[in-house]
Each structure stands twice: as structure tokens, then as C-alpha cells.
Amino acid sequence: MGAAETHRTIDAVWRIESARLIAGLARIVRDVGLAEELAQDALVVALEKWPEAGVPDNPGAWLMATAKNRALDRLRRGKLAERKHQEIGRDLEARQGLAAAELVAAIDDDIGDDLLRLMFTACHPVLSTEARVALTLRLLGGLTTEEIARAFLVPEPTIAQRIVRAKRTLAEARVPFEVPRGDERAARLASVLGVIYLVFNEGYAATAGDDWMRPGLCEDALRLGRILAELAPGEPEVHGLVALMEIQASRAAARVGPSGEPVLLLDQDRSRWDYILVRRGLAALARAEALGGTLGAYALQAAIAACHARARTAAETDWLRIAALYDALAQLMPSPIVDLNRAVAVGMAFGPAAGLDLADALVAEPSLKSYHLLPAVRGDLLAKLGRFDEARTEFERAASLTRNAREKDLLLSRAASAGAATSPAPRP
């Protein structure tokens, strides 16, 4: 194996194993920053040794063993206690003779709970949303600072600062490395799910830049969601989120045209949908429903996505059910964006005039003032009503608000089509 191939293998192994390494170490040292540092030390050793000695048969176990040794070295030198909070340091010093053996045994335990603890820690509410996203992708996604910055079109130093500050904030706030219980668990789980879905959405419909989609972020979010579903099988909303992401991801190939241009849902070639992902999504939705109780926000959105997934053609879409599901979602999670999506569904189910009435009621909503999809929806409904001049104006306004180059081109194209429909036919 050549050096380049070895480095590619190391990158792949790190993506797979880094979260496990960091989670196992963090439970012992009680500091995610120090845990990541120890894991990174193991990675450096691999980069030094594997190109010459070859990739081990079990590279994950090799990294774990190396990380253990690094942690044990720190224990023996007494530096681990210095890096910890004072009370943990005193405890470690008191147990110095037992610490090494406990460390080896503990890291060898089942790491499922450790990964769950790491998710809850990285998504702790003490951190800003941006910090939670960056830290989650770094610790659980195995992404480098450069990769995170590139994915979100943010300068690399900005991402680096967010990660450093996030680790410092967790340490200063003495956030326990544990799975919360009771009422706190529900609130913290909502934060974890929100971070995962935010990452997925940025990949599914990029807010800025030249690409309509960033599939890598969708894949990272899906992987985290699937892991979470295995770690928390009794949580309906976890399965609901996984169902939603699986079904939405199934459309990826059909959402982009030959030149990278966006293809809207009703115009997609459904034979290009990934029906393996559709089946996985429907199975996850069934698991959420089987757990009983009222469907949560993610499960309701998954049920809406399932209506599209079950329709072999756009004409077969059950818009009446979709509109009813949006009614339920609006009651559960009141939001102007939910209301806007409901307007689209009502327009499809009961006619564009009914949908436009709902969309018009949102024009004065302050939170949607700069939201490009409001004029885009109004433009679509106005065009269906034959009000092409007004539709063109709305599409042009939507194009001026979006920061995504591909979406801007699509909206300007729709504005031009509406303008052409308005122009009188040339005389023969």
C-alpha cells in the first residue's frame, strides 16, 4: 500500500473510530477537550507509523490501545490531575494506584452509553447553536476544522474559535459527562435532534454558495441519526427524525439536474429516487408510531414526506392528508414556516386561491421579512391563478433574497417564464 493510499485509509478509519475513541476517553477524564487531545495523539502516532509498518488488521483497536497508553502516561506523570477540575484531580490523586487499571477496564466497556453521553455533551444548551453544530461535527462526525468551515462557507479561523470556546465553556460550566434524566432529558434530546437536523438541512438545501446540495453533510447527519436511534430505541422522535432524513435523502439524485440546477419535488424523475432509503424511512416511521402516543414534530414531518414517497407520480400525491398533517404540525409546533408549508399543501389540495389566502396572511410576519420562500410560494400560487405580472415580481423578490446561486437562477428563470406568459403573443 502506497503512502497516499495509507493516508486515505487513516482518514477513513478516523471518521469511523474517532467518536468511539473520544467518547470512551471522555468518560474517564471528564473533559471532552482533553479526550479529543488524547485521541488526536493516537492519530498522530498512526500517521507516523502506519506508512512504514502498514495498516494494522484492526486499526480501530490499534488506535484505542494507543489512546489508552497516552492516557495512562498522563496519569503516571500526574499531569491528568493537573488538567482536571480541582475536585476531580484530588479524587484521581487519591486513587492513583487504581487509576491505571480502572482506565483500561472502563474504556473496554460497551461504548454505546459513552457515545450517547458525548452527543448530549456536545449539544448542551450552555453552548450556542453554531457551537453545538461545530463541536458535534468535530467530535462525533470526525470532520476537520477545514471541512466544517468549507461545508458551512465560514472562515476556518471562525470554526476553530467556536470549537475552542465550546470546549472551554463546557469545562468552565462543569457540564457533567452523562445522559440526563427526567424532564431535562427531553429538553436535551430536543437539542441533539435539532443539531442533527440542522446539519442535514444545510446539506439538503444549502443556504448559500454555488451548490444546491452538499451531500456530505446529509450523510454525516444520517449517520449520527442512525447511531442515536440504536442508542435510544425507545424515543419516538429519534425514529421520527431518522425517518424524515432517510426519505428526504432518497430524493438526492433527482433533486439536481445534469448541470447542477435544482429540480423541484413535483418535477423530479421519481425513478431516480433511492427506494432502499425510502423503505428504511418508512420502517423508521413505523417504529416511531409503534411506540405510541401523539406523533412529535419530526414524526409528523416524516409522515408528510412519506405521503410523497408513496406516490409513484406527482399526480397521485395525497394532498388532503398532507394538508391535515400540516394542520396537526401547526398545532403542535406553531411557526410561520410551518404555516407557509401548510399554505402550499392547502393550495394543492383545495386550489391556489385557498393557498394564496394563507400565504398572504404571512406577508406582515416580521420573521419572514427576508425569507425568500415566502415570495417564491406566493409567486407560484399567483402564476397558477394566471396573475403573471404579480408572479414575476414575487419570483424576482425571492431571487434577490436567496444567498444560494443555484436557487437564484431557478427563481429568475421562473420570473422570466411568468413575464413571457404576460407578454402578448406576436401578430402573425
Can you say whether the dihedral through the CA atoms of 287, 116, 300, 313 is positive or negative?
Answer: negative
Q: Give the model's confidence band at 328: pLDDT under 50 very low, under 70 low, under 90 confident, else very high.
A: very high
The structure's pTM equals 0.83
Same fold? 123-176, 331-422? no
CA atoms within 13 A on the CB side of 355: 29
> For residue 23, how many other CB atoms are within 10 A of its CB?
26
Residue 257 reports pLDDT greater than 70: yes
pLDDT tens digits, 215-240: 888 999 999 999 999 989 999 999 99
Between these two residues, 2 and 262, which has the higher pLDDT value?
262
Q: Give the model's confidence band at 128: pLDDT under 50 very low, under 70 low, under 90 confident, else very high.
A: very high
Between these two residues, 277 and 114, which has the higher pLDDT value?
277
Residue 72 reports pLDDT greater than 60: yes
Grid cell listed for 145? 476544522
Average pLDDT over residues 85-94: 50
Residue 104 reports pLDDT greater than 70: no
Give residue 84's pLDDT: 53
Share of the chain above pLDDT 90, in %: 59
Assign residue 30 a region (left: φ > 0; alpha: ψ between -120 and 50; beta: otherwise): left
Give residue 96's pLDDT: 45
CB–CB of 132/119 below 8 Å? no
Average pLDDT over residues 351-363: 98
Q: Where are the domains of the chain?
A: 1-111, 123-176, 185-317, 331-422
Of 74-83, 267-276, 414-423, which gets the smallest average pLDDT?
A: 74-83
Residue 88 reports pLDDT greater than 70: no
Helix (H) or strand (E) holding 327: helix 319-332
Q: Provide the b/e sequence for 63-101 (b: ≥16 CB within 10 Å).
A: bbebbbebbbebbeeeebbeebeeebeeebeeeeeebbe
Residue 270 reports pLDDT greater than 60: yes
Residue 156 reports pLDDT greater than 50: yes
Q: Give the model's confidence band at 108: pLDDT under 50 very low, under 70 low, under 90 confident, else very high.
A: very low
Q: Give the model's confidence band at 51: pLDDT under 50 very low, under 70 low, under 90 confident, else very high.
A: confident
Average pLDDT over residues 302-321: 97
Q: What is the CATH number of domain 331-422?
A: 1.25.40.10
Q: Whole-angstrom Cα distance, residue 287 to residue 311?
A: 21
Q: Whole-angstrom Cα distance, residue 369 to residue 364?
A: 8
CB–CB of 53/82 below 8 Å? no
Average pLDDT over residues 341-345: 98
Helix (H, G, I), strand (E, B) or coil at 256: strand
Give residue 57's pLDDT: 84
Q: How far is CA 134 from CA 21, 153, 159, 197, 262, in A?
A: 18, 13, 7, 13, 27
Residue 78 reports pLDDT greater than 60: yes
Average pLDDT over residues 41-70: 86
Give residue 424's pLDDT: 58
Q: Whole-angstrom Cα distance, residue 370 to residue 147?
A: 28
Between these two residues, 28 and 77, which has the higher pLDDT value?
28
Give residue 423's pLDDT: 61
Q: Give the model's confidence band at 340: pLDDT under 50 very low, under 70 low, under 90 confident, else very high.
A: very high
Q: Whole-angstrom Cα distance, residue 415 to residue 409?
A: 10
Amino acid, single-letter form, for residue 61: A
Give residue 112's pLDDT: 63
> CATH fold of 123-176, please?
Arc Repressor Mutant, subunit A (1.10.10)
Helix (H, G, I), strand (E, B) or coil at 208: strand
> For residue 428, how many other CB atoms are within 10 A of its CB?
3
Average pLDDT over residues 105-127: 77
Residue 93 reports pLDDT greater than 60: no
Supply the mean pLDDT for the chain. 88
Residue 347 reports pLDDT greater than 80: yes
Between these two residues, 423 and 140, which has the higher pLDDT value?
140
Give residue 151's pLDDT: 80
What residues have CB less than 8 Å from 52, skipping those under 6 apart?
none
Q: Give the model's confidence band at 99: pLDDT under 50 very low, under 70 low, under 90 confident, else very high.
A: very low
pLDDT tens digits, 15-38: 878 888 899 888 877 889 988 998
Average pLDDT over residues 395-408: 95
Q: Whole-angstrom Cα distance, residue 236 to residue 231?
A: 12
Q: Whole-angstrom Cα distance, residue 326 to residue 115?
A: 34
Share of the chain above pLDDT 70, in %: 89
Lookup result for grid cell 461504548:
111
Q: Whole-angstrom Cα distance, residue 395 to residue 67?
A: 55
pLDDT tens digits, 169-219: 999 999 988 888 888 888 899 999 999 999 999 889 888 787 888 888 899
The crossing angle, in degrees rounded to 10, of helices 86-94 and 96-107 is: 100
Residue 350 reports pLDDT greater than 60: yes
